């Protein structure tokens, strides 16, 4: 079974997970939501040292590729690429929303569809819909929520909404087939997805792969007259 280092810096708290196939060897979760860059490299080093595992044992590095925090995604991708270059191992990228959907599979619910949501400020969210086999039903999109959001899908399906963007949805979507729950997602929820991609040889180009931000990033630089 492949020995894979899984890295997530896209959701609220950064995390890393070492896995030997489907067996989780060790996990570390950042205690802060805003210090991924300072925490990540030290956490990876400590994880290997604590468990007396040689870095050379890694057969691939998997990273949550977005959507999510712009800064977090850059940090995670740069770290994953650096390790892949140094160790000459392949890079695996995993959709953050699909990773979140995987974290909901263990939650007891009659819902046929899983709807992870990431807060994108104001009434906007990054979201997608997955069935319980984690197949994409609605592609990843940035959506401005309103009272009719997911109206068509809720006519025939029970949907479980979760993620930090679902709090906004809860104030607008009032439907008998809609349910809302708090679920924590970590790099552990990448394990099955990264293993599957490794087995299928679905690797990403180390040189040219970029995070999926969900929408164009705009710098808050003010305009000045010169």
The answer as to whether 224 is a domain residue is no
Residue 157 domain boundaries = 105-180
The answer as to whether 207 is a domain residue is no
pLDDT in tens, 84-140: 999 999 999 999 999 999 999 988 888 999 999 999 888 999 999 999 999 999 999
pLDDT in tens, 38-81: 899 999 999 999 999 999 999 999 999 999 888 899 999 999 99
The domain that holds 135 is classified in CATH as 3.30.420
Instruction: Indicate if 30 and 90 belong to the same structural domain.
Output: yes
CB-CB contact of 151 with 138 (8 Å): no
Q: What is the pTM of this model?
A: 0.91
Residue 170: burial class (beta carbons within 10 Å; 0-12, 13-18, 19+): middle
Whole-number percent of the chain with pLDDT over 90: 82
Closest Cα partner for 15 from 50, 64, 52, 58? Answer: 64
pLDDT at 222 over 60: no
Instruction: Indicate if 189 and 173 belong to the same structural domain.
Output: no
The answer as to whether 46 is a domain residue is yes
The domain that holds 32 is classified in CATH as 3.30.420.40
């Amino acid at each position: 079974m492949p020995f894979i280092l899984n890295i997530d810096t896209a959701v609220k708290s950064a995390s890393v997970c070492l896995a030997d196939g489907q067996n989780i060897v060790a996990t570390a979760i950042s205690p802060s939501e805003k210090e991924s860059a300072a925490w990540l490299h030290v956490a990876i080093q400590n994880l290997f040292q604590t468990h007396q595992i040689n870095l050379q044992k890694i057969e691939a590095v998997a990273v949550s590729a977005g959507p999510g925090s712009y800064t977090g995604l850059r940090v995670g991708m740069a770290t994953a690429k650096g390790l892949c270059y140094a160790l000459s191992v392949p890079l695996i990228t995993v959709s953050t929303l699909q990773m979140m959907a995987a974290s909901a599979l263990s939650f007891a619910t009659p819902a046929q569809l899983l709807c992870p949501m990431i807060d994108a400020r104001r009434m906007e969210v990054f979201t997608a819909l997955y069935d319980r086999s984690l197949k994409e039903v609605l592609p990843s999109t940035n959506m401005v929520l309103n009272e009719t959001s997911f109206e068509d899908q809720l006519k025939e399906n029970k949907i479980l909404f979760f993620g930090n963007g679902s709090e906004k949805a809860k104030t607008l979507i009032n439907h008998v087939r809609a349910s809302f729950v708090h679920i924590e997602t970590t790099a552990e929820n990448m394990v099955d997805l990264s293993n599957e991609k490794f087995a299928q040889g679905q690797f990403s180009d180390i040189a040219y792969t970029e995070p999926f931000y969900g929408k164009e990033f705009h710098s808050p630089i003010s305009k000045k007259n010169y």
